[in-house]
Amino acid sequence: MIQESFRPYDQLFLQLESYLPSAEDGAHDLSHLQRVWQNAKVIQAVEGGDLEILAAAVLLHDCVQVPKDSPLRSRAAALAADQARTALKLLQWQQDRIDIVAGAIESHSYSAGLTPTSLEGSILQDADRLDAIGYVGIARCFYTAGRMGSALYHPNQPEPIDRLADDKCFALDHFPKKLLTLCKGFRTPTGKRLAEERHEKLQEFYTGMLAEIAP
């Protein structure tokens, strides 16, 4: 069962289950939480940090979901942080630990543009962004583009050289506009190392696809 992958915090998973994302968005579902948790544990094992706080932050970081193309997208993390405060207060968590979880959630989002103020916040941000790059990141990119009704790429100029990248219309534009820039923003040394490995996969795919569709 999925909660077993969150051991030793499988009971926390069950306590927070009603707040977890549905399967409606396959890029932000329970499988995404599992992958982010695995990333967080790998980073925490080297960098330190409170693993229970990380578990709560991972479980609740997408508890309020806002579509990528919504004007409220930049508020999603703040809304999730508020919901996390409510959830953890009901579980009678100490206020200082709630604050760390909420702060980590609020700063994890790329759209929010915030700098984490705790080690746990840095780890959550790194763990979540690792899932946006590499092979899984490529799959999530095209999955999300399909949900948004985007084309694969601009038919006349697949690589945005003489035009602005428009990833709302063209999936491939999401690579130069965002995905290929993420590697520079990782917070922890372990996160940076893992990001560099996945960045190479992104770059290889992007270069290869451009070569295949070149006239």
pLDDT in tens, 38-47: 999 999 999 9
| pLDDT band with cut points at 50, 70 and 90 for residue 23 | confident
CB 32 within 8 A of CB 20: no
**What pLDDT digit, counting tens, does each position of 118-139 carry?**
999 999 999 999 999 999 999 9
pLDDT of residue 1 exceeding 80: no
pLDDT of residue 74 exceeding 80: no
**What pLDDT digit, counting tens, does each position of 158-198 carry?**
999 999 999 999 999 999 999 999 999 999 999 999 999 99
pLDDT at 115: 93
Q: What percent of the chain has pLDDT over 70?
A: 96
Over residues 25-34, mean pLDDT: 91
Domains of the chain from N-terminus onward: 1-115 (1.10.3210.50), 132-215 (1.20.58.1910)
| pLDDT band with cut points at 50, 70 and 90 for residue 22 | confident
**What pLDDT digit, counting tens, does each position of 137-151 carry?**
999 999 999 999 999
Contacts of 46-50 with CB under 8 Å at 24 or more apart are 46/188, 46/189, 46/190, 47/119, 47/123, 47/188, 47/189, 47/190, 48/119, 49/119, 49/120, 49/123, 50/97, 50/100, 50/120
pLDDT at 2: 81
pLDDT of residue 72 exceeding 70: no
In angstroms, rounded to a whole number, what is the distance separating the alpha carbons of residues 87 and 57?
A: 11
Give φ, ψ of 200 to 5 degrees: -60, -40
**pTM, two decimal places:** 0.94
